[in-house]
Amino acid sequence: MVDDEGKVTEQGIVDYVDFKSLSIDDQYQRPLNSKLMQHLAKHFNWKLFGIPTVGRRRIGGLYIIDGHHRVEALHRRGFMGELLCLIVDTTPEEEAEIFWQVQEYRRSIQPLERFKAKLFAHDCSAVEIQNVCLSLGITIPQQYKGKSRPAKYCEAVVALEEVHDGKNGNETLYLILEALISIWPDAPDALSGIAIRGMRLFFRRWPDAELKILIAKCSMLDPSVITQKAVDVARLLGHSAAGSWADALQKEYNRGLRTHRLEGYHQNKEGSGEAGSGE
């Protein structure tokens, strides 16, 4: 920009621009993501819009550098007024440099970070998940601990949300977590994402399974070993890791039983539609 003495500065200005005057340079901009566009247009919120960065070229023209998807979503909603933008004087090459630097250093929010923010915002789903975990003595940490995490620490918030968003969310989540910590009360890997999804699938396929038998039969197994084998089988055969995890529990559950055995998955009336599940 130009200061009061007529000197060019790097600092831009925030000002309103005519929406119709904004252009896109496809020479450096990435293609629009259609799914993201649909989401932004459907759930548009001015509080989340922010301020797009616009390059004002010395040869004329206003070009969107950062905020292409947001501006396009606004366009699809029929907006044609003036838009508040951060305006910087640029050449096309300078715009391209700003674009790739902004994108390169922009980090997506991590699941635990998102869950922490949802809790603070009193999101109903997050609060319910937290309450279920607290009732079982399970802690959802505020940051990832990796291999140093203790037992009854659950970092797999995406898996928790998937279960909670399903049928009978609170009850199902409680059942799954209770089973995992009852079988492996001291194992940090008992609450991994694959373990949670695998246990959910186990109870879907075999809803009549008795928890006391499951605890007695599986408590001597190492959940981390089950998980690694499930991942290996999934890669080798193209099955879901959760499905392989559930199969391992069913095999162990049936070991030594002559009655009340769990049916094979393909013969189970609940199982016909899950063979290709990505759970």
99 and 230 in one domain? no
Q: Are residues 132 and 206 in the same domain?
A: yes
Give the full edge-to-edge strand order of the sheet including 13-18. 13-18, 82-90, 53-57, 62-66, 22-23
On the CB side of 21, CA atoms within 13 Å amount to: 16
Residue 137: what pLDDT? 95
pLDDT in tens, 23-43: 999 999 988 888 888 888 888
Total domain count, the chain = 2
Same domain membership, residue 254 and residue 221? yes
In a domain, 66, yes or no: yes
Hey, what are 83's tokens? 């838009």
- pTM for the model stands at 0.72
- Identify residue 235 by its one-letter amino acid code: R
What tens digit of pLDDT does each residue of 201-257 get? Answer: 999 999 999 999 999 999 988 998 998 888 888 888 877 899 999 999 999 999 888
Q: Do the beta carbons of residue 177 and residue 132 sit within 8 Å?
A: yes
Which CATH number belongs to the domain containing residue 95 in this structure?
Answer: 3.90.1530.10
Provide the residue range defining the domain that includes 59. Answer: 13-104
Measured CA angle at 233 (ends 228, 236), to 5 deg: 125
pLDDT band at 266 (very low <50, low <70, confident <90, very high): low
Instruction: Please give the sequence-ordered ranges of beta strands (E in DSSP) within the chain, or none if there are none.
Output: 13-18, 22-23, 53-57, 62-66, 82-90
Q: pLDDT category, 142, cuts 50, 70, 90?
A: confident
Q: Given this model, what pLDDT does residue 249 score?
A: 92
Residue 112: strand, helix, or coil: helix
Q: Which two tokens stand for residue 77?
A: 């909603």
Picking from 104, 135, 154, the residue at the C-terminal end of a domain is 104
| Category of 56 on φ-ψ map: left (φ > 0), alpha (ψ -120 to 50) or beta | beta
- Give yes or no: residues 252 and 120 share one domain: yes
The helix (run of H) or strand (run of E) holding residue 124 is: helix 124-135
Q: Which residues pair with 86 in a beta bridge?
A: 14, 53
For 63-86, write each residue's pLDDT tens digit.
999 999 999 999 999 998 999 999
Residue 7 has pLDDT above 50, yes or no: no
Closest CA to 208 of 132, 260, 248, 144: 260
Q: How far is CA 107 from the centre of its chain?
A: 14
Amino acid 260: pLDDT: 83
Question: Is residue 2 domain-resident?
Answer: no
Domain limit, last residue, from 104, 122, 142 = 104
pLDDT tens digit string along 92-134?
999 999 999 888 877 788 899 999 999 998 999 999 999 999 9
Residue 275 has pLDDT above 80, yes or no: no
Single out the residue in 88, 104, 120 at which a domain terminates.
104
* Percentage of residues in the chain having pLDDT higher than 70: 90
Query: Would residue 7 count as lying in a domain?
Result: no
Amino acid letter, 96: A
Is 274 inside any structural domain? no
- Give yes or no: residues 98 and 122 share one domain: no
Task: Establish if 279 belongs to a structural domain.
Answer: no
- List C-alpha distances in Å: 34 to 28, 38, 214, 233: 18, 6, 45, 34
